[in-house]
Amino acid sequence: MGVPFVPTLGYAGSDVIKDREDFVLAPNPFNPEETVVVAKAINPDVALFHGTKGDLQGNVLVSRDGEALMIAQASRKVIVSVEEIVDKIPQDDTDGTFIPGIHVKAVVHAPYGAYPTACPPYYEMDDAQMKRYLEASSSDEAFSGYLREEVFEPGSHDGYLDKMGLRRGERIGEPVG
């Protein structure tokens, strides 16, 4: 990416962009009588996302159902956690979107790194845990309790997986279900 802004169709007249300094109405430079909505570029210093595979060159494979490649191309530092590390991901791997290692600063081997959300084909969403998260999100007090039990007390990602009874290594690499 690296462009200063992107023109878009729509949103004008709505409250969505009313108080937003990153959306402005501007003349279309190629047709000055026409007004378009222009969105300021987001150029993150750091981007974090989860993928399925990483390889020794830092290439990663992520779900095609998302905009991870665009995020990687827009950000200065990209850190990707993955379910498994392989020797080499082919550029034409059809299991996901290939992100070249040149965009990637670090690859982190983090099995169940998307849990309790899904990371197909490795695991599905854990509906019971998502329900617990949603219920905990209803108040500051409940959410503090959730963070204490699920994040701080386990102490680490490994500690959390132990608490959830998820065994690393055994199922990773084998599609579930």
- Which C-beta is closer to other proteins: that of 25 or that of 176? 25
Q: 82 near 113, Cβ under 8 Å? A: yes
Among 9, 29, 134, 141, contact with other proteins (rule: CB under 8 A): 9
Q: Give CA–CA dist 104/59, Å, rounded.
A: 7
- Contact between 119 and 95 under an 8 Å Cβ cutoff? The reply is no
Q: With CB under 8 A as the contact rule, which of the stretches 13-21, 45-53, 129-137, 146-154 interacts with other proteins? A: 13-21
The whole-angstrom separation of Cα 55 and Cα 101 is 9
User: Which residue, 13 or 173, has its beta carbon nearer to other proteins?
Assistant: 13
- Decide: 124 and 112 in contact? Cβ < 8 Å: no
The arrangement of strands across the sheet holding 60-62 comes to 97-99, 60-62, 46-55, 77-86, 106-109
**Residue 134 touches other proteins, criterion: CB under 8 A:** no
Binding of other proteins at residue 155 (CB under 8 A)?
no
Helices (H) and strands (E) in the chain, counts: 4, 8
Q: Does 12 bind other proteins (CB under 8 A)?
A: yes
In the range 70-99, which residues lie near other proteins by CB under 8 A? none
Contact status: 133 vs other proteins (CB under 8 A)? no
Nearer to other proteins, 17 or 114 (CB): 17
Residue 35 as a binder of other proteins (CB under 8 A): the answer is yes
Q: Is 121 in the site for other proteins (CB under 8 A)?
A: no
Choose, by CB under 8 A, the member of 2, 4, 15, 30 that binds other proteins. 15
CB 121 within 8 A of CB 64: no
- The site for other proteins (CB under 8 A) is made up of 8-16, 25, 27-28, 33-36, 64-67
